[in-house]
Amino acid sequence: MAKSYRLERASLNLQWDEFMRSSPDSTVFSLSSYLGNAGVRLGLFYCFNADEPRAAVVLSESEDGSSAQLDDLIIYSGISYGKPLHRQSRAQQLSERHEIALFIAEELAEHYEHIEFTLSPSVSDIRPFLWYRYGEDTGRYQVNTRYTSYLPIADFASALSLEDIEAYREASVSRRQQIRYAKRDRLITEEFRNVDLFIDFYRQTMTRQKEEPSDAKLERMAQLVEGLLQADLAKMFVSKTAEGVAGSIAVYAYDQLRAYYLFGASDPALRDTPAGTAVLWDAFFHLAAMGLPVIDLEGVNSPKRGWFKLSFGGDLRPYYQICKHE
């Protein structure tokens, strides 16, 4: 099996993006404009079968390149498989993906001292990592299950009333109430572009939650958001009070498959208003009008943030964090 595969270093270029956009596992986090603005050392690879790339690998590397490590700004990484071959049956697709993952698990273990990455939700077969050195006491991969929420938004584009929207019908009672309050209070949500104000709101939001971000992280976030806006891979929205005061700001990335809730922050002085709900709910109408059918709310892995995102009525999707520290 392994004799026909080889792993080669790759670069961010047009060929990379063409492969990623054709992959059923691609996300915006694997595109050149995202990775190139993330401010991190990258480990990029193609997995070839003979002369044809059949998978690509995205890793965030340590400063010296000796390890692959998680990064806060690269939500999904790891393996993206190539599109199915002509007349390749489902059984053949699953078999090929399994063989490729077995090979990559072995190659990465040889290349890096420590390994961490987070697969996209579409990569569900993690057996190759669980079976690596099966039966041995050391040197094995560990797998942690994480969760996100996918929310269908296509019907926002044609809805004539709130009841026409599945997400509204499936949302929690408190979230529906906040949506109505935002209308009652005449909040205005519009496309917006003020990265400095967003970063200021984000710093204040995280400080209030006793998770003060470093200046280095804020600089990376600002660079990333500006780069995505320039590349037309993101939209920024602001929800304002009826008096025109900015209350909440959110950034959404998107690719050809879906939208992603990337960042959100509020003015602490207005955190008790419905602006935090409106900046998501109203943005869904804009994103749906762009032809995006679903939004990945990007993680529901902490109690408060998790319940807030799930209250919009989306479903729960598992994804997997792969680690090897021995």
Give the bridge partners for 315, in sequence order. Answer: 150
Question: pLDDT for 108-139, tens place per residue?
Answer: 999 999 999 999 999 999 999 999 999 998 99
| Cα 74 from Cα 35, distance rounded (Å) | 8
What share of the chain has pLDDT > 70, as a percent? 99
Q: What is the mean pLDDT of residues 75-96?
A: 93
Q: What distance in Å separates the CA atoms of residue 101 and residue 256, rounded to the nearest whole number? A: 25
For the chain, the average pLDDT equals: 95
Structure tokens at 258: 């879906």
pLDDT by residue (tens digit) across 42-65?
999 999 999 999 999 999 999 999
Q: Both tokens of residue 9?
A: 């270093």
Q: Are 314 and 151 in contact (CB under 8 A)?
A: yes
Cα 119 to Cα 76: distance, rounded to the nearest angstrom: 5
Structural domains in the chain, sorted by start: 2-140 (3.40.630), 149-318 (3.40.630.30)
Q: Which residues pair with 48 in a beta bridge?
A: 6, 53
In the predicted model, is pLDDT for residue 250 greater than 80?
yes
Torsion from C-alpha of 173, 249, 303, 322, nearest 10 degrees: 130
In this prediction the pTM is 0.94
Mean pLDDT of the region 151-159: 97
Q: What percent of the chain has pLDDT over 90?
A: 92
Structure tokens at 323: 């680690």
Asked if pLDDT for residue 170 goes beyond 50, the answer is yes
Q: What is the pLDDT of residue 326?
A: 83
- Of 83, 4, 84, 79, residue with least CA distance to 45: 79
pLDDT score of 309 more than 50: yes
Q: Provide the pLDDT confidence category of residue 3 given band limits of 50, 70 and 90.
A: low
Residue 266 has pLDDT above 80, yes or no: yes
Angle at 82 between CA 78 and CA 83, to 5 degrees: 135
- In this predicted structure, what is the pLDDT of residue 1? 44
Q: How far apart are CA 101 and CA 265, in angstroms?
A: 38
| Span 219-243, pLDDT tens digits | 999 999 999 999 999 999 999 999 9
Could you give the CA distance from residue 222 to residue 89 in angstroms, rounded to a whole number? 44
Confidence of residue 188 (pLDDT cuts 50, 70, 90): very high
